Structure 1
Amino acid sequence: MTDTPFGPGLAWIERTVALPDRPEPRTPVLVAAGVGPIAEPGTVVLTGGPSGWVADQPVSQGGCACCVPQGGLQRGLRALLPRARRGEVARVVVETAADADPLAALVTLLGDPALMAVFRLAGVAAAGGVDEHARRRIMVADTIVAGPMVPDAVRAGNPAARVIKDLGALWREARFDPDQAANALTLSDPLAWPAAGRWLDHIVRQQAVSRITGVLHIAGCPWPMAVDTAGHHLAPPLLLPAWPAGAAPRSRLVFMGDGVDMAAIRTGIRTAAWGP
């Protein structure tokens, strides 16, 4: 994937003194774990199966995406780069099997600088359930796709995630409600840059965090900064076009994983908020 173990994010932070002067449009990528076929105009679907990753084809019958080498997904996404640059692809869906860990697909995407220069992570949608496979995919999801009845056990796996019953709602921008998450952090004071980026990199290296997602309010920057991590990979931050209408700028982050130490995270953010 990359020559460095922590992905392109740290290199981007270290070489960046000033932030980009404007938001950059990128093609959204949704990772769908066990959700089923998603077909919309302008959408390219990459489906994992026993023979590799296939674009624009029906969902494979049988097989498991976790058995597919990650390079297969990387090659599939890279093959879409020319079409995405020409504006021929509105969005991409990466469909994994219900018993596959979506974290592997996230690491493939976020750990490749060439992909992250054109694509952005739109989110992770996971099918609801109460077995161990479901627990793992729900833990890193921001949207849970469930039937008419949503067991409390499903919500408990990731209480910050929204629960939907209609696949048509997948592409709405608002996904998380950090106020409902135990492992959430909301800050009104603006954060210093690049200290905040170095703090995030420290968290993904030192903490048992599977994924971090949210937006940062950076001092002197008029736009919200979207951040995403997967495992030890920190994606290059992305400036969004605007804050939600009527909403005051603030940082909102959700930390996913087993054994997340929120006390240490809240202590460390003090340096990021007022550091150099």
Structure 2
Amino acid sequence: MSLAYDVIPVTIVTGFLGSGKSTLLADVLKGDAARDTAVLVNEFGEVGLDHLLIGEVDAQTVLLDNGCVCCAIRGELKDALAALFSRRARGEVPPFSRVVLETTGLATPAPIVATLLGDRIVSSHYSIAAIVTVVDAVNAEQQRMRHPEWLAQVTAADRIVISKADLAGDASALDKTLAQLNPAARILWRTKNDDASIVLDEAANAHDFADFVRRTGMRVHDARSDADNPLARLNATPGHREGLDALNAFCIEFDAPLDWPVFTLWLTLLLNRHGDNILRVKGMLALTGAVQPVVVHAVHHLVHPVLHLDAWPDEAARRSRLVFIAQGLTREAVADSYRRLCRHLRTAETVD
């Protein structure tokens, strides 16, 4: 396939200020695993790359000693991605096969996802491999209480990497809190000596969701009914407190294989009506007439391209499961909306 027509996977690395995402990224770039990688950062000064640089390609692009490309984003993200792809096609930079994008510490992932999925030119050349959120084990409690951006970063993640684990002591409560806030994410602990190449896994969605299916049968309870609900203990500002009170993580399971047109109609209507309040949807579906499972993934109004897995991660769990992280919506209300649509369309699917 010509380089000009490749679709390149993008891994988004986010995390609050000081979480350690820049350190993680710098460690990734030291290894041979990043040889065919392009890295987009907001400013070079935010990442400790100076000791890695061997030569400047132009004012915004440098070539690292392992052959990968590092670019500064000084304008719109879509312009940076389009320009980088064009330079790759013309042979002006090495033929990278993946992109790692580091966000600023105060960025929420949704606008970046919107650019990657919603811009016609960008989406024709790039796809989202995973969102990796770095969480500071030492300062997570304080950041969670004070900054809504922290919560947006955590709930959008496919992977959560807990940094500074060797400085935090017993952080089991943090692990439990993160699992409750985002039950769809795989949580990893990292010390300064651990391998950082995890952020370059192009099949993150498939691997992470398979791991999720294996954990506890994917049964997720309403966060507000949990006596250990981490949101209930926050001493947050009134506006943040109100939003946290309404946050709910739950799982809907479907007994029978789903009719794909009916399901997509329902999800489209649901996101169109409530997308502003739906932080995350992720699920593995059994479809009528299909042997292999399908993974669906959405953030707010934006739906990722469907991912087809080769096989079910657990042969004993061949049923559809859909995880929601939402504000102001309950499991019962969402499940009932599907039931009502099925009744209206005279379908026979039932929801647990």
| Aligned equivalent of 2:182, options 140, 158, 182 | 158
Structure 2: 5+ residue runs without aligned partners? Answer: 1-5, 16-20, 46-58, 63-67, 191-195, 222-248
Name the SS for the 1:174 alignment partner: helix
Q: Contact between 1:81 and 1:118, CA under 8 Å: does it hold in 2?
A: no
* Structure 1 residue 156: Cα displacement: 4.3
Higher RCO structure (Cα 8 Å, ≥6 apart): 1
Equivalent residue letter for 1:123: A
2:13 aligns with 32
- Residues 167-188 of structure 1: per-residue CA shift (max 9 Å, x gap): 3444351244543463222334
Aligned match of 1:5: none
Partner of 1:179: 219
Deviation at 1:157, TM superposition (A): 3.1
Task: Tell me how far apart the structure 2 counterparts of residues 229 and 250 of structure 1 sit (CA, whole Å).
Answer: 19
Give the gaps of 5 or more residues in structure 1.
1-24
Q: Does 1:94 align with 2:101?
A: yes
- How far the C-alpha of 1:102 sits from its partner, in A, is 1.2
Residue 197 (1) aligns with residue 221 (2) = no
Aligned equivalents of 2:310 and 2:89: distance in 1? 24
Given that 1:224 and 1:239 are in contact with CA atoms closer than 8 Å, whether structure 2 keeps it comes out as yes
2:153 is aligned, of 122, 137, 140, to 137
Residue identity matched to 2:291: P
Per-residue CA deviations over 1:94-153 (Å, capped at 9, x if unaligned) read 211222111111111121355445544222111113411322210211211113244255
SS of residue matched to 1:189: coil
Separation in 1 of the partners of 2:301 and 2:181?
21
Q: Distance in 1 between matches of 2:348 and 2:89?
A: 40
What is the TM-score of this pair, normalised by structure 2? 0.57
Q: What is the deviation of 1:30?
A: 1.7
Q: What are the residue-to-residue correspondences of 1:1-276 with 2, within 5 Å?
A: 27-34=8-15, 35-36=21-22, 37=25, 38-39=28-29, 40-41=33-34, 42-49=36-43, 57=69, 69-75=76-82, 79=86, 89-117=96-124, 119-128=126-135, 129-130=140-141, 131=143, 132=147, 133-147=149-163, 148=165, 149=168, 150=171, 151=174, 152-166=176-190, 167-170=196-199, 171=201, 172=204, 173-175=207-209, 176=212, 178-180=218-220, 182-207=249-274, 208-244=277-313, 246-270=315-339, 271=341, 274=347
Instruction: Tell me how far apart the structure 2 counterparts of residues 145 and 186 of structure 1 sit (CA, whole Å).
Output: 28
Looking at structure 1, the residues matched to 180 and 60 of structure 2 have their Cα atoms a distance apart, in angstroms, of 32
| CA displacement 1:12-68 (0-9 Å, x = unmatched) | xxxxxxxxxxxxx964322110333133333322223499986855586xxxx8x95
Identify the structure with the greater helix proportion.
Answer: 2
**Which whole-Å CA distance do the structure 1 matches of 2:342 and 2:96 have between them?**
37
| 1:227-252 deviations in Å (ceiling 9; x for gaps) | 22222222342333332263543223
The separation in 1 between residues aligned to 2:108 and 2:320, in whole angstroms, is 28
Tell me the percent identity.
26
Give the TM-score taking structure 1 as reference length: 0.71
Question: Aligned with 2:264: secondary structure?
Answer: helix
1:172-207 per-residue CA deviation (whole Å, 9 max, x = no partner) reads 512445434632223342111211111111121112
In 2, Cα distance between equivalents of 1:80 and 1:252: 42
State the Cα deviation string for residues 62-83 of structure 1 (Å, max 9, x = none). Answer: xxx8x95343355357548859
